Amino acid sequence: MLLVFGELYMELIDSKGCLEVEPGGPLLRQALAARAVGARTRFLGRVGRDGFGRGIRKIGQERELEWVLQEDGDHPTSLCFAGDPPVAYRAADAFLEPPPESFFEGGRVLHAGAWAFGMDPGRTTAAEVFREGLHQGLALSLDLRSARWALRADLEEVLRPFLPLAYMKTDAEALEALALRPGELFQWANTVLLFAPGKVRRMTLFDEQDSKLPRGRSSDEVYGRFLAGVSEGRDPDDALAAALKRPPHSTRKKDA
């Protein structure tokens, strides 16, 4: 099973003068992509007791995610206003509390985003969840997106006990923001997927390989599908190949 935890928010997007509201966050997109190819996926998050929170819960239920969803009566669901740069208002998800022990049952891969490690009290919870994941022998994964709240030293400090991770997703923007050289990524994770427009580079200590992204498939969808594969016991190379492969419409895999 794939276990995911961290940020949950609504994205507010200006579309030709109209404001569109969509359940957002890379982790939710990745979790839904993993579930779409049949991987059992459990998501730990926190939302407000409001319409945005109910909307997030509904889409997860419709896509058959296993929610471990906390409701916050004091803080609203977090929001992210799309733009350049985007503006985020962290609220309920920044107050994520430790999950019950049952959250970890059946897990093989535990995945989070860098945002979860950004501010307390959620930061402490994120470290506790990673620590318990290690204790239970789970492979740890991180989406190392550019985190505007953090300096590199902040992120290294909180993640140091867990490095190198098993898997990591990142891109050039994150490397620039955190002043990381690509060669340093081997200190962060054993397998790194470095995304650029139209392609992904799989990097390990011994090998690098570039692949094209299928047309219309986002980096979040590919990484979610990759996590689905490794959570089902596939070799990372095979999991990435499957994530990049577009099945024929007539033989599209249905949810389990």
- Residue matched to tokens 């309920």: 92
Q: What radius of gyration, in Å, describes the C-alpha atoms of the chain?
A: 17
Return the pLDDT at 150: 60
Q: Please compute, for residue 198, the number of CA atoms within 13 A of its CA located in the half-sphere on the CB side.
A: 0
Task: Evaluate if pTM is beyond 0.85.
Answer: yes
Strand-by-strand arrangement of the 199-203 sheet: 66-72, 41-48, 2-5, 109-113, 139-143, 165-171, 189-196, 199-203, 208-212
Q: What angle do CA 152, 27, 97 make, to 5 degrees?
A: 80
Structural domains of the chain, with CATH: 2-251 (3.40.1190.20)
pLDDT tens digit at each of 256 positions of the chain: 999 999 999 888 877 777 788 887 899 999 999 999 999 999 999 999 999 999 999 999 999 999 999 999 999 999 988 766 777 788 999 999 999 999 999 999 999 998 888 888 999 999 999 999 999 999 999 999 865 556 677 888 889 999 999 999 999 988 988 888 888 998 999 999 999 999 999 999 889 999 999 988 999 999 999 999 999 999 999 999 999 997 544 344 444 3
> Which tokens belong to 205?
């200590």
Return the pLDDT at 138: 98
Confirm if 142 and 114 have CB atoms less than 8 A apart.
yes
How does 115-137 read in b/e, with b if 16+ C-beta sit within 10 Å?
A: bbbbeeebbebbbebbebbeeee
CA-CA distance, 19 to 7, in Å (whole number)? 22
Between the alpha carbon of residue 39 and those of residues 161, 205, 221, 230, the distances in Å are 28, 28, 13, 10
What is the DSSP annotation of 6-64?
Answer: S--EEEEEEETTEEEEEEE-HHHHHHHHHHHTT--EEEEEEEESSHHHHHHHHHHHHTT
Return the pLDDT at 190: 96
- Residue matched to tokens 């499957």: 242
Between the alpha carbon of residue 80 and those of residues 24, 120, 126, 241, the distances in Å are 8, 19, 20, 32
CA-CA distance, 213 to 195, in Å (whole number)? 9
CA-CA distance, 56 to 53, in Å (whole number)? 5
